[in-house]
Structure 1
């Protein structure tokens, strides 16, 4: 949306509610001049927090929608998610006779959604719900969604003839500094909901006995190797270092 159009909508709602600019400023904790600048579409030097504060004062919801090269951004995000899913599938199949169903949609008693990966271990009669995240945004919503999927997993699995003795859950997050910081800042919440970490995930996948709730990071290098080989770094020695090591190409008269 263009800045002028955004400002016009803010002003329109304010007038409809019978509020003055000073009233909006008081509710939002900003100055009257800032409210005026927003209504005139002068948004260039304002923060997103300021825009949201004014919008909240007027009960307007503001959604931030990034756009990049047409549909390329959606394809990029989907590609990252797909690589993460493929890495998980390969790890499951390497650990044992897991059967995996990707993107399993459901609609049960009005509850709708999709499970990223639903895995079944026939020998142990173990059902595993895997939630994949390339980025962690809302921790509360994430854990509530995972809990809901685990609660419905028995009914969802029965569609494939899978009758489980126990249902486990795993949150698999793309490794990276930002995601690790997000987890660290909510570590008590995550440990309470998902007490097992990635170091114990491999052992459980090989012998899935009993219910488990796990959080694991999937390294970027693991995902990259699925699509293309990693570049091999080579050390380039300078002429002095080579001479010290007795490199014949650095000796006088040798070219």
Structure 2
């Protein structure tokens, strides 16, 4: 999933870094993908998840990573003006169900959704003090690679039942999505 996100972000003129170390001796962590759009000064702190086990833990991690992201970006020679945390989920029915069961928390904590996130990646500005959420299908070649959540009105079902189904699909070229 990381390679897919990095490839897509780079095609939108963003500089990227994967597995960026943040924190110190007692609370070390790694940002999955850090993406910087130099024209707008926008920094995306991206957490990739194949499954949601603990939404609160994801929110805490994104908050901590965002606080550390400016220093990490400066170490990479980037000069960000603004940053936001982004949760990119594997496009699966299991994740759709988990999002639906946590809808109030998702609506409150992740106000930027797929369409607006796509605009931000393309060079738009981030609304202040909010996070983004979208789904991705690493096997898809669709131009709009940030997919809406089911609760946001996506019409087509997710291409995979769960993470295991995604892994099976990787080995079966007939099941790869377009």
Unaligned runs of 5+ in 1: 1-83, 234-255
* Alignment counterpart, residue 135 of structure 2, candidates 217, 233, 239: 217
| Matched residue, 2:153 | none
TM-score scaled by length of structure 2: 0.74
Q: For residue 132 of structure 1, what is the aligned residue in structure 2?
A: 48
Shift of 1:160: 1.0
Tell me, in whole angstroms, the C-alpha distance in 2 between the residues paired with 1:120 and 1:232: 33
Task: Map residues 87-106 of structure 1 onto 2, 5 A cutoff.
Answer: 87-95=4-12, 97-106=13-22
Rg comparison, structure with higher value: 1
CA distance in 1, matches of 2:78, 2:171: 35
Compared with structure 1, are the counterparts of its residues 122 and 228 closer, same or farther at alpha carbon in structure 2 (3 Å cutoff)?
A: farther
Equivalent residue in structure 2 for 1:204, among 102, 111, 120: 120
Q: Which secondary structure does the structure 2 equivalent of 1:128 belong to?
A: strand
Matches within 5 A, 1:110-121: 110-121=26-37
What is the CA-CA distance between 1:221 and the residue it aligns to?
3.7
SS in 1 for 2:23: strand
| Whole-angstrom distance in 2 between the partners of 1:206 and 1:182 | 28
After TM superposition, the runs of 4+ consecutive aligned structure 1 residues lying more than 3 A away are 227-230
Q: Deviations over 1:170-214 (max 9, x none)?
A: 100001111110011001111211111112221111123134521
Higher RCO, Cα 8 Å, sep 6+: 2
Counterpart-to-counterpart distance in 1, 2:58 and 2:26: 19
CA RMSD of aligned residues (A): 2.4
Report how far residue 94 of structure 1 moved: 2.4
